Structure 1
Amino acid sequence: MVYTPRSARHGALLVGTVTVLGLLSACGNSHDVHSNPPVTDSGTAAPATGGTTSPTSAGSAPASAPAGASSSSTPQTSPSAGGGGGTVPASARCHTSELSASVGRNDPGAGQEKFPVVLTNKSGRTCTLRGFPGAAFVNGAGTQLGPDPRRESGSATTITLRPGQSAWAGLTYSNPGISGAKTATPAALLVTPPDERDALRVAWSGGSVPVSGNSSTVFLSVLSPGTAP
């Protein structure tokens, strides 16, 4: 029997114990790796706030408006019945129901009769007029007398009317006593604001007007701010 010193036996026992513990630890670590793999969340990152930009997930695309939709609104206008001479947004335009009409005093000269046709904003909001009004002489039964007035040359401008403010257009024709035109005496003048279809009825007190024959044309000027020249 070989004699082994006590210190050598103790060292060998210590080395064997460390080896066994190392093997057990390695086995434990190997089991953890295979039974608990890393977890990855998928999905789109939530929008960030405070002026920063968040990441965008793969495959995502910016949202777009549905077909037929627009990011901006285009002002709409109704067809012109009164001779607009320009396009005014419907939301800003003075509508017939918001206006009153009148005919000012005749200012004759050089064989011409000249009446200002006045449109006044009677509503509680600010609105606009642009271009030429429409006009027609009618008898007591509402039948039109003579052709529609023709437009004089002139540039249309947008006129802003606050509540109570007015715009006017000149109604002119040759004096029938001088021109020899066939005449009739209207009961009223129908006035249609630019880009509107409904007319305003104004009693006519200006006497006879030309309806046919020589120099019987009636003219209307473009609207200007105020109530008279």
Structure 2
Amino acid sequence: MGRARAFHSSHRATPLVTAVALLGLVAGCGSGADAGGTVRPPAGTSSGTATADTGSTASGPGTTEPGTTGPGTDTGSPVTQSAAAAPRCHTSELRAKIGRPSPGAGQRNFPIVLTNTTDRTCTVRGYPGAAFVDASGKQLGPDPKRSPYTPTSVSLAPGRSAWAGLSFASPEISGARTAVPKALLVTPPDERDPLEVAWTHGEVPVAGNESSVRLTVFQPGTGG
């Protein structure tokens, strides 16, 4: 899809992929940043709203289950999952980053971290949308696949974070064709406008054997 969906998005729409592509999907209007600091997806990236569909794709070698291996949860964070009354977090209210990578046996795991930048509590639920792009804004590789987990609402107090996993098999082991992205476009669950995050972690698989990138649902903490 030409806009990115992400490793996991919200439960109301469908799934980060057509929601991410990489953790949901990114909707596309243009490639420039808007006044809120978000970046419109470039033409050619996958489109759609990142959603919380649990998905049915089987786990692969690049998949880590939330709360087990891979980036860990930040148990010290006062983020809660009892967020029935809190409104959804919008793209303009969030900051995105790639957390500390956590290598696994033959795979690379990265937490996609969203932080609430406002003075109100809001929630995220499901998979992010995600897509790797080059310097021209063109999407690299197919949309990510969603690992089948049950989404839960994560309540973010001001300044607090939630993370979703992004993983793929190590290209030197899988033999996949690779490219080095300029950025990762991350779309929060149920949103259409993505956030652009500089990608500084080298090559990613874009075609061939074991080239799938996988996303997991959001959970509390920073994954570090």
Q: TM over 0.5: same fold?
A: yes
* 2:145 alignment partner AA: R
Tell me if structure 2 keeps the 8 A contact 1:85–1:130. no
1:93-172, aligned counterparts within 5 Å? Answer: 93-172=88-167
The answer to whether the 8 A contact 2:113-2:163 is kept is yes
Q: For residues 133 and 204 of structure 1, what CA distance do their matches in structure 2 show?
A: 16
CA RMSD of superposed structures (Å): 2.1
Larger Rg: 1
CA distance in structure 1 between the partners assigned to 2:196 and 2:119 by the alignment: 22
Instruction: Say whether the 8 Å CA contact 1:119–1:168 is kept in structure 2.
Output: yes
Letter of the 1:115 partner, please give it.
F
Counting matched residue pairs gives 152
The Cα of 1:84 is off from its aligned counterpart by: 2.6
Tell whether 2:196 aligns with 1:196. no
Aligned counterpart for 2:204 among listed residues 206, 209, 228: 209
Superposed CA offset, 1:171-209 (max 9, x none): 000000000000000000000000000000000001000
Q: Any unmatched runs of 5+ in structure 2?
A: 1-11, 15-47, 55-82
Name the CA distance, whole Å, in 1 between partners of 2:216 and 2:167.
9
CA contact (8 A) 2:86 2:123 kept: no
> Do structure 1's residue 84 and structure 2's residue 52 form an aligned pair?
yes
3-state SS, counterpart of residue 140 of structure 1: coil
Distance 1:89 1:143, change over 3 A: farther
**Cα distance in 1 between the residues matched to 2:13 and 2:90:** 11
| 1:103–1:118 Cα contact (<8 Å) kept | yes
Q: For residue 171 of structure 2, what is the aligned residue in structure 1?
A: 176
Q: Match of 1:108, SS?
A: coil
Answering whether residue 223 of structure 2 is matched by residue 228 of structure 1, we say: yes
Question: Contact 1:179–1:215 at 8 Å: present in 2 too?
Answer: yes
Shift of 1:83: 2.2
Q: Select the structure with the greater relative contact order (CA < 8 A; seq sep ≥ 6).
A: 2
Structure 1 residue ranges (4+ consecutive) displaced by more than 2 angstroms after TM superposition: 77-80, 83-86, 88-91
CA distance in 1, matches of 2:174, 2:193: 33
The answer to whether the 8 A contact 2:140-2:206 is kept is yes
